Amino acid sequence: MNIQKALASLLQDRTSQVKNLFVNYFGPPLLALSGFFLLCGIILQMRGQSPLEFYSIIFVSAFSSLDDFGYVLFNATPLIFTGLAVAIAYKSGLFNIGCEGQLYVGAFAAAWIGIHLNLPGFLLIPLCMGSAVLAGAVWSAIPGFLKARYGAHEVINTIMMNFVAFALMNYLVTSVYQEPDQMIPQTSQIYEAARLPRLASLFPILPPSNPLNLSFLFACGCAICCYIFLTYTRWGYELRLLGNAPDVAAYGGINPQAVIVWVMALSGAVAGLAGVTEVLGYRYRFLDNFSSGWGFTGIAVALLGRNNPFGILMAAVLFGLLNKVALDIEILLEIRRGLFLAGQGVLIIWLVCTEGFSRRKN
């Protein structure tokens, strides 16, 4: 009798756990997404266009062929890195709004090495990526240090560092390293050896024109590493403890100042890799202003992925899909892609509101 009761209560616990998981964890993002697509449909109906056509174009544009889906994953690649970068900082209670600047300095460092060192690929590619990691880390550690040492808010400082990075990149690319005899603000091309191979050359099922490259696999690897780091290592534990219970962390002998600096550096390092995807994987040079707000989209990606590396992977693919679809919609239905950008804004606001609301209830 008692066993039956216990079993019943256990079962109830289990179902309520699953229910909780769905209500609190997957619920808001899924609701937000369906709301977004519904809203798009309504706007189209108001403009006198067919929402059904819109939905079918989304599907065709993203999934009709491997080539199309390759573009989706290609768009997702930098967003995986920036999403992870935001999440790493967020887990320790810090905001890294400076991913945009960090990915630029990372990209430039990689391009500089790729232009100046003529080495075999197995040396040059790690060197390029290492320099990007280092540059991103340094750029981000500065706000971290200012926060740890002087208590200056990292949000403001990362934003300021963004603008400094934009100015510095613009200076370097127009005054010092501009490609000779060209008007475009870009550097010369990097050596062949530094270029990451396209996945099409490894898997012939993709057409050779598809830009999806090795950096996508690096991004997936980075997500797995982040998961292991955050969940199973001592440093990951310190980081999470600082985010969840700063007082306990200090009491437990963790030096918050040191953690703040290295967390920001780590976050910047990952953001720096987002720049590598463009320089080593696609354009093979540094172009001024190449990123279309990937650093800021990373905030949305991290939020939608609930700061979980695998969630971020999925969220980044979703945003990659939206970017790809936005282009086709713009051409086929003459709807400006601003609609998707606006939708992204609404999505973020909705997510933080539900998060804040549930925190308030608790």
CB of 43 to other proteins, least distance (A): 9
Residues of this chain that interact with other proteins (CB under 8 A) are: 95, 97, 146, 149-150, 152-153, 155-157, 159-161, 163-164, 167-168, 170-171, 175, 293, 296, 299-300, 303, 335-346, 348-349, 352-357, 359-360
Listed residue (325, 151, 307, 313) closest to 230, CA to CA: 307
CB of 100 to other proteins, least distance (A): 11
Nearer to other proteins, 145 or 284 (CB): 145
Residue 92 phi, psi dihedral angles, 5° rounding: -100, 15
Nearer to other proteins, 221 or 293 (CB): 293
Nearer to other proteins, 57 or 164 (CB): 164
> Cα dist. 185→109, 117, 177, 182, 201 in Å?
16, 22, 9, 8, 30
> Please, which residues have CB within 8 angstroms of residue 354's CB and are 6 or more apart in sequence?
28, 32
CB of 177 to other proteins, least distance (A): 14
Nearer to other proteins, 133 or 161 (CB): 161
Residues 240, 231: Cα–Cα separation, whole Å: 9
> Please, which residues have CB within 8 angstroms of residue 109's CB and are 6 or more apart in sequence?
128, 131, 132, 134, 135, 272
> Please, which residues have CB within 8 angstroms of residue 325's CB and are 6 or more apart in sequence?
57, 58, 61, 62, 340
Length of the chain: 362
Residue 117 phi, psi dihedral angles, 5° rounding: -105, 125
Residues 81, 273: Cα–Cα separation, whole Å: 7
CA–centroid distance for 301 within its chain? 6
CB of 328 to other proteins, least distance (A): 16
Nearer to other proteins, 218 or 350 (CB): 350
CA–centroid distance for 318 within its chain? 11
CB of 349 to other proteins, least distance (A): 5
Nearer to other proteins, 152 or 314 (CB): 152
CB of 120 to other proteins, least distance (A): 36
Nearer to other proteins, 262 or 319 (CB): 319
CB of 191 to other proteins, least distance (A): 28
